Structure 1
Amino acid sequence: MPARREVIESVLTDAGWPSPAWLETTEQDPGAAQARQAIKNGAELVFACGGDGTVRSCIEGLAGTGIALAILPAGTGNLLATNLGVPLDTAAGVRLATAGGRHRIDIGEVEGRAFAVMAGVGFDAALLGDASSTLKARIGAPAYVLSALRHLRDRPMSLQIRIDQEPTRKRQARTVVIGNVGRLQGGVDLLPDASPDNGQFDVAILAPRSLGHWVALAWGVVLRHRRVQHREVLRGSRITVTSDRDQPRQLDGDIIDPGRSLTVDVRPGALEVCVPLPNGGSDPSARTRSPAGD
């Protein structure tokens, strides 16, 4: 962390920006409280340095405020950064923020919690919850594969799915993923048409019933086929998924309490985020902004 701080402060100085204030996250306060404090302190830009969990928490503190978020990826999962074209290198991420590219994206809200990547019920939440922290630290993303193998034969869910004012759909499925963006680890597009700024989230209903179905589903997703066996995709701005029993649930990789239902409300354009400028240009007015680090 000291080396990363030196890089961040050096790049900001080279860009003519003031030194940032540093607000450390904790297990109890992973980002939301720090983001709100940064705003109270007068910050005009908040850097979130961490994985999707840290970024998600910071979004809770920033959503609807007009204060921009700059992502500095530093975790096992960096899916929001990847989907938005934010570089994984710290220095490059800081330079991107100082260049001045800003874009408003949608966020989802579940029981007062915000998320910007994906929410899930069933298989995907189970594998995320069971992935060993020690193994993730040692081998990274493959730890999720090992966890997934343990859940391939879990019992399917009996679901009712309501999209906006459409009639309720009844489905048997292994997992439901509700995404603001579509790309997973390794560049795999689970939701190839998902867009973070269209005011709607895409909903993937995955319903494999055997190992062969899982293989067909995975192969179709990897090859980016428009029609993939055992995957149904819907879209809406308010999505409610109700199961016949309690299910594991997750928001941007953070496990929340199990429950029989998950309701996602989309908040269009609620978050301003630093993104690459078209053609690598720069915005001279960016030098006037004051950063705060989380």
Structure 2
Amino acid sequence: MDALTSPRPPRSAVVVNPVKVPDLDELRRTVTDALTARGWPEPMWLETTVEDPGAGQAAQAVRDGAELVFACGGDGTVMACVTALAGTDVALAVLPAGTGNLLAANLGLGSDLATGLGVVLQGGRRRIDVGVVGDRSFAVMAGMGFDAHMLDATNDTAKKHIGWLAYVAGALRHLRDRPMRVRIALDGRPAFTRRPRTVIVGNVGRLQGGIRLLDEAQPDDGLLDVAVLSPRTLRDWLALGWGVLRRKNTVARMETYTATRVEITSKRAQPRQLDGDLIEPGRNLLITVRPRALLLCVPQPATDPDLAHDAARAADAL
């Protein structure tokens, strides 16, 4: 019997990025009051730093006996907690506080504090896969090329004021960039070469704004879904975007694959991202999958494969 189904309320910890939270004292009161009202012990509180965006704090929480870790911050905070908790029986609960929150958007975890707490108190949980790049783990997507350029070009102030629409301005800056020259190897099969604008490797399928890029991606199928996007002109971009929005089986200038090991090698260093968070540029991106490695708090009932139903009802639990 795990901690979330045990009659004894679980011990918990909150890993919070103080930069993403306008009022830490109010956050602490809200979370503590919601948990103690249900008979849970007060959570431990651990703040992230510039040097450590959350992995060290989440690991410390596990060592101190936490059975559930709340990640409260943006995509970087969530990814750091995913890295620390993957492979353990400690559950991750997402309390969105940033502007991206790709995991919350993909898995129906809610977009506000009340909904996030309601999801946890309902007791739903699900084991999902994680992708691995070096010593980092991610739960949503990795990418090389245009998508990372877009993230780098997106203004933080704009994200704060207009949310995901800020990424549109970042994207427009790089629509006419030169394509990459890459070699892609999947699961030991013969490698192939392409000249794409970006290569995206997903554990789930939705981008910012709810756009579903990888229609077949499932978070617990033990596979990574790969999209190779190769538009050449503005007309190509428009056709690709229209095809994705209409969820066509075949989308112009986009190839899709599945694999458990994906290696992308470029002739020159390219921008790279994991779960919407930039990592250092590089010529190579090697991604593997750890099946069902992360225990995640999710809405109940977990009947939709993407869990993308309306999680707002969970807030009634508060």
Q: TM-score, normalised by structure 2?
A: 0.85
Q: In the alignment, what sits opposite 2:286?
A: 263
Asked if structure 2 preserves the Cα contact closer than 8 Å seen for 1:9 and 1:20, the reply is yes
Q: Which residue of 1 aligns with 2:250?
A: 227
Look up the match of 2:269: 246
State the partner residue of 2:4: none
Q: Given the alignment of the two structures, is residue 189 of structure 1 paired with residue 199 of structure 2, yes or no?
A: no
Matched residue type, 2:174: H
Give per-residue Cα distances to partners, 1:177-225, cap 9 Å, x unaligned.
0000101122210101101101111000000000000000011111111
Q: Partner residue of 2:126?
A: 103
* Structure 2 SS opposite 1:141: helix
SS of 2:47's equivalent in the other structure is: coil
Measured against aligned partners, the alpha-carbon deviations of 1:11-68 in whole angstroms (never above 9, x if no partner) come to: 1122211111111111211110110110111100000011211100111111111110
Q: Which amino acid aligns with 1:51?
A: G
Aligned position for 2:69: 46
Alpha-carbon distance in 2 for matches of 1:96, 1:247 = 38
Q: Measure, in 1, the Cα distance between the counterparts of 2:302 and 2:145.
A: 41
The partner residue of 1:276 within 281, 299, 304 is 299
Q: Is residue 11–residue 91 contact of structure 1 (8 Å, CA) maintained in 2?
A: no
SS in 2 for 1:157: coil
* Whole-angstrom distance in 1 between the partners of 2:118 and 2:158: 32
**Secondary structure of the residue that 1:154 maps to in structure 2?**
coil
- How far apart are residue 93 of structure 1 and its match? 1.3
What's the counterpart of residue 211 of structure 1? 234
1:4 aligns with 2:46: no
Judge conservation of contact 2:217–2:224 (CA < 8 Å) in 1.
yes
Could you give the per-residue CA deviations for residues 99-145 of structure 1, whole angstroms, max 9, x where no partner exists?
A: 22111111111111111111000000111112122222232222211
Letter in 1 for 2:277: D
Partner of 2:163: 140
Higher mean C-alpha displacement, 147-156 vs 270-279: 270-279
Structure 2: stretches of 5+ with no match in the other structure: 1-23, 304-318
8 Å CA contact 2:270–2:282 kept in 1: the answer is yes
Aligned to 1:180: 203
Residues 32 and 58 of structure 1 are in contact (CA less than 8 Å); yes or no, is this contact kept in structure 2?
yes
- Work out whether residues 175 and 207 of structure 1, in 8 Å CA contact, stay in contact via their aligned partners in 2: yes
Preserved CA contact (<8 Å) 2:102 2:276: no
Query: Structure 2: which amino acid aligns with 1:156?
Result: P
Name the aligned partner's letter for residue 45 of structure 1.
Answer: L
The TM-score, its normalising length taken from structure 1, stands at 0.92
Which of the residues 147, 162, 178 maps onto 1:155? 178
Are positions 1:34 and 2:49 aligned together?
A: no
Superposed displacement of residue 233, structure 1: 0.6
Match of residue 60 from structure 1: 83
Distance, in Å, in 2 between the alignment partners of 1:19 and 1:108 is: 32
Q: Is contact 2:124-2:302 (8 Å) kept?
A: no
Count of aligned residue pairs for this structure pair: 280
Q: CA deviation at 1:279?
A: 7.4
SS across alignment from 1:91? helix
Aligned to 1:236: 259
Report % sequence identity: 57
| Counterparts of 1:259 and 1:279, CA distance in 2 | 38
Q: Which moved more, 1:125-134 or 1:209-218?
A: 125-134
Residue 248 of structure 1 contacts residue 258 of structure 1 at CA under 8 Å; is this kept in 2?
yes
CA distance in 2, matches of 1:143, 1:87: 20
For structure 1, the residue ranges without an aligned partner over 5 or more in a row are 281-294
Secondary structure of the residue that 2:39 maps to in structure 1? coil
Q: Distance in 1 between matches of 2:301 and 2:178?
A: 47
Structure 2 Cα separation of the partners of residues 81 and 202 of structure 1: 19
C-alpha contact (below 8 Å) 2:184/2:192 kept by paired residues: yes
